[in-house]
Amino acid sequence: MVKKLRHRAGIGRDNGDAYLESIKNDQAKMAELIRNERRIELCFEGFRFWDLRRWKSNLTETAKGMNISGTRYTPMEVDKRSFSEYMYYGPIPYSEVLKYDELKQNQGW
């Protein structure tokens, strides 16, 4: 799949894809490549937050932005995020908990 995406983008059409060939036997590097490809391909599709949750990535990393004034810019912190372990699983809607006696709310919610 990664090869098809990269080929569509024109990467590796003429001379092969040396980077892809160099990491094909390294599980960690391949996972990193796939995660980066998902980040790029699906950037405006609303998957990123859920991907980060599923991969248990660092969700407490400070959100950064830039203050732009004319031709100058200054990097700045936008939001200090707080993410606890229990937040990997969202709350079960209360209406569902009421319907089913055996259904227990996810821990922390």
pLDDT in tens, 20-78: 788 889 999 999 999 998 999 899 999 998 999 999 888 898 999 999 999 999 999 99
- 65: Cα within 13 Å, side-chain hemisphere: 6
- B/e letters for 41-51, b = 16+ CB within 10 Å, e = fewer, are eeeeeeeeeee
> Which comes out higher in pLDDT, residue 54 or 16?
54
> Which comes out higher in pLDDT, residue 9 or 92?
92
For the chain, the residue count is: 109
Q: Is the pLDDT of residue 106 over 90?
A: yes
Category of 84 on φ-ψ map: left (φ > 0), alpha (ψ -120 to 50) or beta = beta
Domain definitions of the chain by residue range: 1-57, 59-109
φ and ψ at residue 21, rounded to 5 degrees: -65, -35
Would you state the pLDDT for residue 3?
A: 72
Tell me the pTM. Answer: 0.62
* Cβ neighbours of residue 52 closer than 8 Å, sequence gap 6 or more: 59
Would you state the pLDDT for residue 5?
A: 73
Would you state the pLDDT for residue 9?
A: 72
